[in-house]
Structure 1
Amino acid sequence: MPRIRTRPLTPTIGALVENVDLSVRLDEEQFADIQAALLKHQVIFFENQRLTPVQHRDFAARFGALHTHPLCPGIPEGLEALAAEQA
């Protein structure tokens, strides 16, 4: 799989992560690169990703245990994923 690229957005915080498709399971090296980018830049962004709620949940779970909100139930396919309404 191709190596990801990061493009810093400011001199102090934030980066855009490029050359990655989050809809497929990333290999360990790619995920380690994303974790390193998060640690280095504090905030990372992924543009133009097309993820189902379950794919989003599965990607997020690689960072650690997820929380199921006690008052706002998630979607039936993955209770950890909350649906956001678009205006």
Structure 2
Amino acid sequence: MEARNARKVRKGVVVSDKMDKTVVVKVQSLKLHPRYQKFIKSTKSFKAHDENNECKVGDTVEIVETRPLSKDKRWRVAKILQRSIEAASQE
């Protein structure tokens, strides 16, 4: 029962907020190379649903996996962890 509700959670930075109710979040992860035992940074972009258009470029957000909302959107913004400096100064 618990495994069914276990949703993937990622932390990343908003790189685009030009779409309505959608933000593009860049998530960075470290992967260990099997032979050389060196950590390699890899980044991936996720389109996430932002219901109230609260996120701005540069914000650090937490996204959670959800049901498919469109062709590319399978994530939604759970919470804004840290506002960007530019967005905070405008408010």
- The TM-score range, normalised by the shorter chain, is under 0.3
Q: Which has more strand, going by share of residues? A: 2
TM-score, with normalisation over the residues of structure 1? 0.21
Answer with 1 or 2: which has the greater Rg.
2
TM-score, with normalisation over the residues of structure 2? 0.20
Q: Which has more helix, going by share of residues? A: 1
* Higher RCO structure (Cα 8 Å, ≥6 apart): 2
